[in-house]
Amino acid sequence: MSNEAVNQNIPPKNGAAKSGKKTTKTVKKTPPPPMPDERPEWGALGRHAQKMKNTHMRDLFANDPERGTRYAIDVEGFYCDFSKNIMTDETLDLLIGLARACDLEGWREKMFTGEKINVTENRAVLHTALRRPAEDIVEVDGENVMPFVHEVLGRMQQFSDSVRNGTWRGFTDKEVTDVVNIGIGGSDLGPYMVCEALKPFAHERIRMHFVSNVDGAHIDETLKAINPETTLFLIASKTFTTQETMANAQTAKSWLLNHYSGDTAAIAKHFAALSTNEPAVQDFGIDSANMFPFKDWVGGRYSLWSAIGMPIAISIGFDRFRQLLDGAHAMDRHFCEAPLERNMPVILGLLGLWYRCFFGAQSTAILPYDQHLHRLPAYLQQADMESNGKQVDRYGRRLRFPTGPILFGEPGTNGQHAFYQLIHQGAALIPCDFIASISTRNPVGNHHQLLLSNVLAQPRALMNGRSLADSGKDPQKVFEGNRPSNVLLVDHMDPYHLGMMIALYEHKIFVQGMIWGLNPYDQWGVELGKVLAKDVLGRWDEAQCDGLDSSTAELFKRIRFRFQSWQDL
């Protein structure tokens, strides 16, 4: 175990125990490693950044005709062009030196072998095990977890097949036409994004719906659009206690029971659970045979590969769900086996760190030129910002440098007519990821040629800019250029390559988190708001304001009074 591993208490030697004497052994804790900005590699990057800030990409391309080829990586038809970045070979060498100094390769091995790198929750981080072959061995606390993973996958296949082929029937013996996934956070964003991304592969009979917001409008508008006799609800909650999810689940349950005159036998025919809390699932009325579990080493925002992916399996079929897992596993292998200087997640992670820490870039834009990927920016917002949006490292030390960036985005070309103005001519440096599929499953006129022409034009414009001379001497039309971007291309946006792309971003987040010294796999900042919301809810009946600050107290009184007045109308 390396010096960065969490120290465990060491029991006394057998000799001390046999002597009958009570001895106390002082365990000397290994001091934490230096922070990344205390390392010489960080200082070298800072000095190099000052030089590169006066370097324009136009000159880098002019001086190196092979730049567009040299700075590109192809992994099984997944192509990444990272040539349009403010960097040179020296930049990459220095960044890789920092990665090695921070033991990136060691932390990578710990994650894949099941060490408990989620140190604040004492958990392994093994979403990668969910897409590994059955014959592999991955141990957690001495147990090989792969038999469990594949047992659940087998049950998911049987269940999803039965819904798709019509053998799963509702309470009145009708086929399922609508599936409603009720979850929030990772139990919603991942499956929703993938189902939308792979909509061309969706089952013709089955419509997918996703309900997450506790705002009653979300569940109410969904229920208005479906038939209780042909609807299957999937309740996605690890603990089966998530406030928003269970509120929506109870509303759906009441709606169903109202249709069936209160006959609770209908619940087992119209509800399944993606959870680990069997007693709570049974209390709800769901047959435990229709509960699909996963382990605590699967974080919510990394859980679409687990039972949480059931809506994906129902929508596109289990064989294609398996292809999604296989694509992710292919990226896992690349991440583990490729040298750092030719490693796609490593390169993208290091370039993101380069701009965040040495160029002051606060944001990153995710720009999919694929309408089916319209939920990708929202999915990656959670994956990245909930993972690395932290100021304290895994040793409890406050950091002196910025970490996770703000992620935002919109499908192209919509974004071009919305926020690209800021990216092109604004004061902020905003690195961009352009994502596109060379083929299309919607060959309408010349639409796809127009789309791809734009995905080629925008990175070029960001890089080159436009001079005063080329702008007709009008300073309003000057673009400085030198705005960095990456272009990610696939031949076909199919399940396999989508799996590769999602895993690519997972590992990019890991790379940055490990170098920054973070634990990307907890989310304590999310918890406080939940606690305080329960506190306010508990005050509702008595209008109790003791202990609230004056602003919250006045807002609470106003909301409660007017809410009650509206309810009485």
pLDDT at 342: 98
* Domain end marker among 318, 347, 373: 318
Residue 527: pLDDT band (50, 70, 90) is confident
The catalytic position among 530, 534, 554, 557 is 530
pLDDT at 458: 98
* Domain end marker among 516, 535, 556: 516
Q: Would the pLDDT of 7 be above 60? A: no
d(CA 312, CA 375): 14
Mean pLDDT in residue range 400-416: 97
pLDDT at 564: 75
> Shortest CA distance to 179 belongs to which of 149, 222, 144, 208?
208
Residue 264: pLDDT band (50, 70, 90) is very high
Our answer to whether residue 150 is catalytic in this structure is: no
Cβ contact 184:218 at 8 Å: no
Considering the domain boundaries, does residue 220 fall inside one? yes
Q: Would the pLDDT of 26 be above 70? A: no
Look at strands 78-81 and 72-75 and give their pairing: antiparallel
Our answer to whether residue 508 is catalytic in this structure is: no
pLDDT tens-place string over residues 290-312: 999 999 999 999 999 999 999 99
pLDDT at 158: 98
Kindly report the backbone phi and psi dihedral angles of residue 136, in degrees, each rounded to the nearest multiple of 5, phi listed first: -65, 160
Residue 28: pLDDT band (50, 70, 90) is low
Same domain, 292 and 381: no
Angle at which helices 344-358 and 89-101 cross, to 10° = 90
The catalytic position among 13, 25, 51, 417 is 417
Mean pLDDT in residue range 246-274: 98
pLDDT tens-place string over residues 346-356: 999 999 999 99
Considering the domain boundaries, does residue 10 fall inside one? no
Same domain, 503 and 547: no
Same domain, 222 and 307: yes
Cβ contact 512:95 at 8 Å: no
Same domain, 493 and 350: yes
Same domain, 383 and 298: no
Whether omega for the bond prior to residue 242 falls within 30 degrees of 0, making it cis, is no
Please give the residue range of the domain that contains residue 380.
36-101+338-516
pLDDT tens-place string over residues 130-161: 999 999 999 999 999 999 999 999 999 999 99
Strand-pairing partners, residue 487, are 81, 434
Residue 530: pLDDT band (50, 70, 90) is confident
Per-residue H/E/C for 267-282: HHHHEEEECCCHHHHH
Same domain, 483 and 551: no
Q: What is the mean pLDDT of the chain?
A: 93
pLDDT > 90 in the chain, percent: 89
Helix (H/G/I), strand (E/B), else coil: 209: strand
Considering the domain boundaries, does residue 425 fall inside one? yes
Considering the domain boundaries, does residue 393 fall inside one? yes
Tokens of residue 94, six digits: 């220095």
pLDDT at 546: 92
Cβ contact 167:262 at 8 Å: no
Considering the domain boundaries, does residue 410 fall inside one? yes
* Domain end marker among 473, 490, 516: 516
pLDDT > 70 in the chain, percent: 95
Considering the domain boundaries, does residue 390 fall inside one? yes
Query: Which CATH number do you get for residue 382?
Result: 3.40.50.10490
- Decide which of 124 and 10 is more confident: 124
d(CA 346, CA 318): 31
Same domain, 446 and 535: no
pLDDT tens-place string over residues 312-339: 999 999 999 999 999 999 999 999 999 9
Same domain, 307 and 408: no
Strand-pairing partners, residue 437, are 490
Tokens of residue 241, six digits: 């206690």
Mean pLDDT in residue range 493-500: 98
Exposed, middle or buried: residue 1 (CB in 10 Å: 0-12, 13-18, 19+)?
exposed
Same domain, 143 and 284: yes
- If you write DSSP's letter for every residue of 493-522 in order, what string do you get? --HHHHHHHHHHHHHHHHHHHHHHT--TT-
d(CA 93, CA 97): 6
Burial 402-414 (b: 16+ CB within 10 A, else e): ebbbebbbbbbbe
pLDDT at 543: 84
Same domain, 397 and 508: yes
pLDDT at 10: 29
Residue 503: pLDDT band (50, 70, 90) is very high
Considering the domain boundaries, does residue 171 fall inside one? yes
Same domain, 269 and 310: yes
Q: Would the pLDDT of 563 be above 90? A: no
* pTM confidence score: 0.93
pLDDT at 569: 60
**CA distances for 146 relative to 129, 134, 135, 274, angstroms:** 7, 6, 8, 19
Same domain, 300 and 378: no
Cβ contact 436:451 at 8 Å: yes
Domains identified in the chain, total number? 3
Q: Would the pLDDT of 17 be above 50? A: no
Considering the domain boundaries, does residue 6 fall inside one? no
Residues in the chain: 569
pLDDT tens-place string over residues 69-102: 999 999 999 999 999 999 999 999 999 999 999 9
d(CA 78, CA 70): 16
pLDDT tens-place string over residues 206-219: 999 999 999 999 99
